Amino acid sequence: MSNLINVPKNGSLANTNSNVNFPSWLDDIFNRDLPSVFSSNFNTGITLPKVNIKETADAFKVEMAVPGLKKSDFQLDLDNQVLSISAESKNEDEKNEDNYTRMEFGYSSFKRTFTLPESVNEDEINANYQDGILSILLPKKEEARQKPPRTIEIS
């Protein structure tokens, strides 16, 4: 006698031989949907870098921790008050030795977008990348800058 198991399109296990008894819990495992961790975005290699945003009287300061990249890996775009920060990095490492070749490669990318407040002077935005930190300065328009407190004399 054969011990074949047919797996129909709906994924349930059908026993073709009445002498073969599979535990019911095994059938349940194959009939249930996989958890979302296995079905969507599993091991895509995409992570979003953490961002600190600080507002001062004159500007907004954005700092993004992105170590291991080069300045040329980044692209910053501004379109209709939306700032897009993206990076793409590819690396390949090939080692040829006596009887084998080892090749490792990697790819990573991300894209983050931020809607800027109308108070930002888009013409004066600048960015700097140093020691793994991407810093973006978003200066405020003159009319949006906080004025220092002052004392008003009573006449």
The confidence score (pLDDT) of residue 38 equals: 46
The confidence score (pLDDT) of residue 117 equals: 92
> What are the structural domain ranges in the chain?
5-32, 51-144
Do 101 and 38 touch, CB atoms closer than 8 A?
no
Q: What's this model's pTM, rounded to 2 decimal places?
A: 0.60
Structure token pair of residue 10: 């709906």
How far is the CA of 136 from the CAs of 2, 51, 76, in angstroms? 68, 11, 10
Cβ neighbors of 59 (< 8 A, separation 6 or more) are 137, 138, 139, 140
Listed as ranges, residues in the chain with pLDDT below 50 are 1-2, 12-18, 36-44
Question: Which tens digits make up the pLDDT trace of 17-53?
Answer: 445 555 555 555 555 555 544 444 444 455 789 999 9
- Rounded distance between C-alpha atoms, residue 16 and residue 114, angstroms: 58
Q: Phi, psi (5° rounding) for residue 64?
A: -125, 125
The confidence score (pLDDT) of residue 36 equals: 46
The number of CA neighbours under 13 Å toward the Cβ of 111 is: 5
The confidence score (pLDDT) of residue 20 equals: 54
The confidence score (pLDDT) of residue 86 equals: 93
User: Which CATH code for domain 51-144?
Assistant: 2.60.40.790
The confidence score (pLDDT) of residue 84 equals: 94
Residue 30 identity:
F
Find tokens 């109308």 and name the residue.
118
